[in-house]
Chain A
């Protein structure tokens, strides 16, 4: 009965590889988000989709590409991984027009 789920929970990879993180929500929400939490615990929004349409796109390298196959899923694909991409990535969702966001458990990405 998990509300917002992410896979994988941990991801360890080499520099230069391409990887994806998947996110699914079963709350019936229309809006989904990706956040990055750095090593100092600081959280910053990266992207937001509403009904499969991109509505927030912060200053993020274009190596990061979100993809929303339907409104219950928002995946994050990262090309040519760099050391600085190591972080915890959180997915979240909310109702359209609602301000309470519900977060997934996070994916800890480590780039070696």
Chain B
């Protein structure tokens, strides 16, 4: 069965410093992988997705993620954090069997300090 593990429940960075949010996945096939962001009291916004075209995926707002099959990882990075990046981030994988069922990680709360 597919699963997603976000390795940090909370990450705190200073404005202007790099961001790293870690995600490992487990899948018996080649899934699609996503990162979604949820700002406080808001809905989920797609940051980026991986669908096997390229291992380094660029998303919105300067975020990118690298798919590493050997490590079953899909970590999210950004070179320089902005105060507006403070939010909850979800790593997501598609489940095997069609019907586009998404499996969410538990989320990582990113805090950005001035």
Q: Is B102 an interface residue (CB 8 A)?
A: yes
Number of chain B residues whose Cβ lies closer than 8 Å to a Cβ of chain A:
21
Name the residue on B nearest A97 (C-beta). B100
The number of chain A residues touching the other chain, given as a range, is 20 to 34
Q: Are B43 and A31 in contact (CB under 8 A)?
A: no
Identify the stretch in A11-19, A60-68, A71-79, A98-106 within 8 Å (CB) of chain B at 4 or more residues.
A98-106
Q: Are B104 and A44 in contact (CB under 8 A)?
A: yes
Q: Are B100 and A101 in contact (CB under 8 A)?
A: yes
Contact with B along A45-68 (1 / 0, CB 8 A): 100101000011000000000000
The B interface is mostly helix, strand or loop, or mixed, namely: strand
Identify the stretch in B18-26, B44-52, B55-63, B65-73 within 8 Å (CB) of chain A at 4 or more residues.
B44-52
Q: Closest approach, in angstroms, between the C-beta of B97 and any C-beta of chain A? A: 10
Taken together as a complex, chains A and B put the C-alpha atoms of A93 and B49 apart, in Å, by 16
* Residues of chain B whose beta carbon lies under 8 Å from any beta carbon of chain A: 32, 34, 36, 38, 42-46, 49, 51, 88, 90, 94, 99-102, 104, 106-107
- Can you name 20 A-B residue pairings with CB atoms under 8 Å? A4-B43, A40-B106, A41-B38, A45-B102, A50-B99, A56-B99, A90-B43, A94-B100, A97-B100, A98-B100, A99-B32, A99-B51, A99-B94, A100-B34, A100-B46, A101-B46, A101-B100, A103-B43, A103-B44, A106-B43
